Structure formats: C-alpha cells, structure tokens
C-alpha cells in the first residue's frame, strides 16, 4: 500500500495522474459516443417524452467535464497557475476550448460509420458544454487563487 501511495504522490506532482485521468476520460467518452444503442433500453427513442432531452444533457455534462480536465492538465503542464499574463491564459483557454469543440464535432461526424446518427443539436450541446466547462474552470480557479492569496495575506499580517 505504501508503494501505491508513493507512486500516486510522485505522479500527481508531475501531472501524470491528471494526464492519465484525462486520457481515460477521452477513451471512455469516445467509446460511449460510438456504441450503437439501437435495440437497447438506453436508445433515445425508448425514452419517455419528458426524458428526450437526456441525450443533450449527457453531451453538456461530458463535454463540460472534458473541458475542465483539459484546462486543468494544461495548467499543471504549464507550471504555476499564475504563470504568464492573463491575456496569454485566455488565449490558451480559447485555443483548448476550440480543440475540444472540433474534437466533439469530429466525434459526431464519425458516428454514422458506427451505426449512429449525426445530430447538429448534439454538436450545439457539445459547444454549450465546453463554454460551461471553461466558465466552471475559471470560477473554480479564481476561487482557489483567491483563497491562497487570502491565506498568504493573513500569514503576513500575523507575522507583522
């Protein structure tokens, strides 16, 4: 058990654990988006009318989560969360969000080759999920930075 704990601590310091989680998430998401669900109880046509939107909620949540993971891994790989100017961070986030949107669109385009249907509304749900993911990440990051700055200020005033 001690070896596992040590491995996780070393891996998380380098961001490898976060990268591993991101890669696993991408693989599982790709599999989930390409599985032919016709004939199963999970196909959207079998949902009651009040749950027809559940597919769009799935896209919103999964692409929002993917965006948060991508931004988190990018921050860890780049070093300090305060490294670089805010303009560079915003440009980096916009580029990463665009990459996630393009990947989601490519996933939708390739679905007909796996017995599924291309759906423009799914693409729109992906885009909204990415935007919500960027907003959630920035809110979380702002809160974490604010708390660390408050703690640093409190420790300085206590020592003065």
- For residue range 67-86, list pLDDT tens digits in order: 999 998 888 777 644 445 55
81 — phi, psi (to 5°)?
-65, -20
Residue 25 has pLDDT above 70, yes or no: yes
**C-beta atoms surrounding 81 within 10 Å:** 14
Residue 1 has pLDDT above 70, yes or no: no
- Dihedral angle of Cα 116, 117, 119, 123, to the nearest 10 degrees: 30
- pLDDT top residue among 70 and 142: 70
Cβ atoms 71, 132 nearer than 8 A: no
Give the predicted TM-score (pTM) of the model: 0.73
| Tens of pLDDT, residues 4-13 | 566 555 555 6
DSSP assignments along 16-33, one per residue? HHHHHHHHHHHHHHHHHH
Scanning 38-119, the segments in alpha helix (DSSP H) are 54-78, 86-110
Residue 131 has pLDDT above 70, yes or no: yes
């Amino acid at each position: 058990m001690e070896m596992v704990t040590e491995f996780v601590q070393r891996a998380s310091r380098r961001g490898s654990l976060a990268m591993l989680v991101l890669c696993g998430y991408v693989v599982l998401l790709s599999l989930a988006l390409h599985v032919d669900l016709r004939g199963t109880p999970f196909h959207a046509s079998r949902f009651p009318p009040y749950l027809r939107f559940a597919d769009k909620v799935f896209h919103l949540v999964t692409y929002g989560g993917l965006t948060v993971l991508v931004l988190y891994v990018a921050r860890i790989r780049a070093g300090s969360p305060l490294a670089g100017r805010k303009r560079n961070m915003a440009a980096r986030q916009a580029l990463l969000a665009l990459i996630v949107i393009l990947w989601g669109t490519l996933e939708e385009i390739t679905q007909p080759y796996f017995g599924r249907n291309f759906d423009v509304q799914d693409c729109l749900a992906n885009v909204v999920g990415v935007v919500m993911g960027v907003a959630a990440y920035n809110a979380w990051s702002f809160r974490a930075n604010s708390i660390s700055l408050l703690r640093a200020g409190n420790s300085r005033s206590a020592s003065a």
